[in-house]
Every structure is written in structure tokens, then in C-alpha cells.
Amino acid sequence: ASADEPAVVPAVKLRPEILASPPYRQGRPAAADAFKLSSNENPFPPLDGVIDAVVASGAFNRYPDASALALREVLAARTGVSPENIHVGSGSVALLSQFIAAAAGPGDTVVYPWRSFEAYPGLVTVAGATSVQVPNRADGSHDLHALAAAVDDTTRVVIVCSPNNPTSTTVSAAAFEEFLARVPSDVLVLLDEAYAEFVTDADAVQGLRLTGRYPNLVVLRTFSKAYGLAGLRVGWAIGPVEILDAARAAAIPLSVTQPAQAAALASLEREDELLRRVAELADRRDRLHAELTAQGWFIPAAQGNFVWLATGDATDAANDALLAGGIVARAFPNSGIRVSIGEEESVEKLLPITQRIVDLLP
Ligand code: PMP
């Protein structure tokens, strides 16, 4: 064809539900003088020992161990299960995708609370299944009764997120066990505990205490948040072997890289130091929560490394004020703003702004 002939664009048939599905919305980047509190990242840089382990890990001309056995063995020893009961993925979002695809397809439903982690709807759509979103209660917490009531013959997966992104609420251990008793045992329950290490409420569910007791429960954890490895992409799942084997079959092979496996192992070796940082962040969160409450905000008990400002119709105006003040948070139009716990200075910068914007609320 000559240059002035129009290119022939073949009418490729793409899935309409995929075309209609918005791409994942990433937390916005921040200018150099602003604080990036939009992605629930850990403000601490990786420990030197972790970086050294990453550098020492390759032979990058070789493929990684596809099953991440060394990492699974360490996680299994710590949690008192067999390595077969642990599955590692390139972030817990990859694991979510695998478990949803392993259990749900066209004609099936996946039930989850809303608002919750923004990736859930897209992952369900990619699997070809249908989302059933169950509204949270007015305080942003999950309504587990309504969630269990939404399960029917079409349901293959139910997701519970504790602490919930973006409202930072937890479900109690007692309520979660009641919920498990109501969900049929042939429906996969995914407990997404991406922020588990930040939880200080003794009544909150702790998924690792439940493993081995329920044949349909899989708990998801990640190295992205508490361990500060978001950029390397490592998450893990713990649960019954048959369900994990199905996820392994649904996984893209070899996606957990060698440096990522090495960094996760090195982080576990340095867990004391990393968990001290987690405690510092949880402390900072509790102080921020108390200050915001004193300013007149109603904020449900926050248990993740983030707090939820229920700004409703004033969200755009409130977010503009935050941006102007050098705070980049995650705004959900007409709903609220999620602010991650970052550096101490970010809290000092944040509080005078929230003091002003609390007056915008009805
Ligand atoms: N679950 C929840 C609730 C999250 O908020 C996130 C990250 N935003 C993830 C899972 C995924 O984290 P990662 O893939 O980095 O492990």
C-alpha cells in the first residue's frame, strides 16, 4: 500500500464488557514539594539489607523459581502450615485475579462490599463473571449480614476486606465467624488482609487464626504495605491446597520475580525492624484520628495505614484545598477522600487544612 492510502484497520472483535471497564486508577503522583498520600504506600524506604539481598539475588538471565518455594517454606513455618498451603503471587492483586478466575466465570457472581478496593470490579469483569456490590453501612464498615444475604446459587466468590480500603474499618472476629457459618461451604471466601499488620484492635478478625478451620476460606496478605515492597510486587495467600492449586493453575507462570522473592525473604529476616516502623505508623494514624475527631470530623475507627474523610458532595472542594496545601490524597467523587499515613511532617501539613475544610461539610 502506498503512503497516501488509508491504513486498513481490521474490525477486531473485543469483549464489550472489557471495553466498558475503566482501567485501574492509580494514585496520582505528587510534585517534589508535596506529600504523596494517595496509594497507601509505606513512607519508609527499603532497609539496606533488603536492597543488598535484591542485588545479590540475580543471575537475572535465569528465570525465577516459579513456585517461590524458599519464600513459601518460610511463610509456612511461621504460620504453622505446609508450604502447599501457601501460594505467592506478584502482589495480592494478582492473587485476587487468580482466585476469582479460578472460581467464577460467565453466569457466576462475585459478591463484595462497596465501597472497597477499586480493583475488585475489573478483576471480576476480566474473569467474565458479574459483580454484586453490597453497600457498606453509613459509617463505612461492612454489613456482613447483607453480604451473606446477597449470596445465592450463582455466587462463586465472596470478598471481605479488613481493614477495608478505603474506609479503614475492620470486621470483628466474632462477626466474621458468624458470617462464615452463613456462607455455603462451596462458595470461596476471600479475606483480603492487605493492611493486617497495621491493625491494633484486638477484636478485629485475624485471618491467620482461622486457617485450617474452614474449607472455603483463603486469606490474602501482601509485602506491599507493612513491608514497604509495593514496587517489587509480592503477595501471598494461605488456605486449602485444592483451592490454592486452582489459583496456581489460573496464574501467569513465572510472574513473581527473583528480586521480589529475595526482597520478601530478606524482609522477613528483618521483621522486627519493619514491624517497629509499622507500630510507628499505627501510632501516627491513631494520633491523626484523634486530632481529626477533635476538629469535628466523624471518622470510623481507622485500622489500616490510612484514614477516610467522608467529605460527600464537598469532596472536590476539599481535595482542591488539600492539593493547594501540598497533600496529594485519593479522592472518590461525591463520596470521600482517603489519606495515607505518611511522614510525620505530612500530618503537620494536613491538620491545618482539614481544620479549614471541616467547615465545608454539611
Ligand atoms: N487489597 C487491598 C485492599 C489493597 O488496598 C491493595 C493495594 N491497594 C491490594 C489488595 C493489592 O496490593 P498488592 O497487589 O500491592 O499486594
Measured CA to CA in angstroms, residue 66 lies from 88, 209, 253, 255, 257 at distances of 9, 28, 6, 8, 8
Ligand 1 pocket test target in 26, 123, 205, 225 with most atoms within 8 Å of CB: 225
pLDDT tens digits, one per residue of 207-228: 999 999 999 999 999 999 999 9
Ligand 1 atom with the shortest distance to the CA of 92: 16
Whether residue 161 has its Cβ less than 6 Å from ligand 1: yes
Here the cell at position 354 is 482539614
Number of neighbours of residue 181 by Cβ within 10 angstroms: 10
Ligand 1 centroid distance, CA of 227 (Å): 13
Closest atom of ligand 1 to CA, residue 234: 16
Chain segment 269-282, per-residue pLDDT in tens: 999 999 999 999 99
**How high is the pLDDT of residue 27?**
73
- Residue 287's nearest CA partner among 347, 343, 229 is 347
**DSSP H or E stretch at residue 272:** helix 271-295
Is 191 within 8 Å of 269 (Cβ atoms)? no
Beta-strand ranges (E) seen in 249-335 are 306-309, 327-328, 330-332
The torsion angle over the Cα atoms of residues 217, 222, 226 and 231, rounded to 10 degrees, is -160
**In this prediction, what percent of the chain has a pLDDT beyond 70?**
97
Contact criterion met (CB below 8 Å) for 262 and 53? yes
Residue nearest to atom 14 of ligand 1 (CA): 91
> Averaged over 301-311, what is the pLDDT?
97
CATH architecture observed for domain 60-269: 3-Layer(aba) Sandwich (3.40)
Using the atom order of ligand 1, give the atom closest to the CA of residue 222: 16
- Residue 7 pLDDT more than 70? no
- Asked whether the beta carbons of 224 and 195 are under 8 A apart, the reply is no
> What average pLDDT score do residues 187-207 get?
98
Distance 221 CA to ligand 1 centre (A): 9
Asked whether residue 10 carries a pLDDT value surpassing 90, the answer given is no
Q: How far is the CA of 325 from the centre of ligand 1 (A)?
A: 27
Where does the pLDDT of residue 339 fall: very low under 50, low under 70, confident under 90, or very high at 90 and above? very high
pLDDT of 30? 75
Range 30-40 average pLDDT: 90
Q: What is the predicted pLDDT for the residue at 184? A: 98
41, 42, 92, 308: residue to mutate for ligand 1 pocket, most atoms within 8 A of CB: 92
Residue 302 reports pLDDT greater than 60: yes
Mutate to test the pocket of ligand 1, among 36, 192, 220 (most ligand atoms within 8 A of CB): 192
Any atom of ligand 1 within 6 Å of the Cβ of 91: yes
Q: Quick check: 3 pLDDT over 60?
A: no
- Confirm whether the ipTM is greater than 0.95: yes
CB-ligand 1 contact for 165 (6 Å cutoff): yes
Residue 157 clears pLDDT 80, i.e. is over it: yes
Question: What is the pLDDT at residue 71?
Answer: 98
Ligand 1 and 117: CB distance under 6 A: yes
Angle at Cα 271 formed by Cα 66 and Cα 245, nearest 5°? 30
Considering the entire predicted model, what is its pTM? Answer: 0.96
Segment 104-130 shows an average pLDDT of 98
In whole angstroms, what is the distance from residue 345 CA to residue 34 CA? 11
Fold classified for 25-40+272-360: Aspartate Aminotransferase, domain 1 (3.90.1150)
What pLDDT shows up at residue 29? 73
Cα–chain center distance at 301: 18
Question: How much is the pLDDT for 362?
Answer: 75
Confidence of residue 5 (pLDDT cuts 50, 70, 90): low
235-259 pLDDT, tens digit per residue, is: 999 999 999 999 999 999 999 999 9
CB 42 within 8 A of CB 281: yes
Q: Calculate helix-pair angle for 48-56, 258-269, nearest 10 degrees.
A: 140
Q: Quick check: 348 pLDDT over 90? A: yes
| 305 Cβ closer than 6 Å to some ligand 1 atom | no
Read off the pLDDT of each residue in 172-194 and give the average, rounded to a whole number: 98
Residue span(s) of the chain under CATH 3.40.640.10 come to 60-269
pLDDT class of 62 with cuts at 50, 70, 90: very high
29-43, 123-137, 181-195, 278-292, range with the lowest pLDDT: 29-43
Q: What's the confidence (pLDDT) of residue 38? A: 96
Distance 92 CA to ligand 1 centre (A): 6
Angle at which helix 119-127 crosses helix 92-103, to 10 degrees, equals 40
Ligand 1 geometric centre to CA of 194 (Å): 6
Q: In this predicted structure, what is the pLDDT of residue 8?
A: 67
Q: Is the CB of 256 under 6 A from ligand 1?
A: no
State how far the Cα of 206 lies from the Cα of 186, in Å rounded to an integer: 22
Question: What average pLDDT score do residues 261-290 get?
Answer: 98
* 192 in contact with ligand 1, CB cutoff 6 A: yes
- The reply to whether ligand 1 has any atom less than 6 angstroms from the CB of 163 is no
Q: Where are the beta strands (DSSP E) in the chain?
A: 35-36, 86-89, 109-114, 130-135, 155-161, 188-192, 217-222, 235-238, 306-309, 327-328, 330-332, 336-340
Which of the pair, 227 or 2, is modelled with greater confidence? Answer: 227
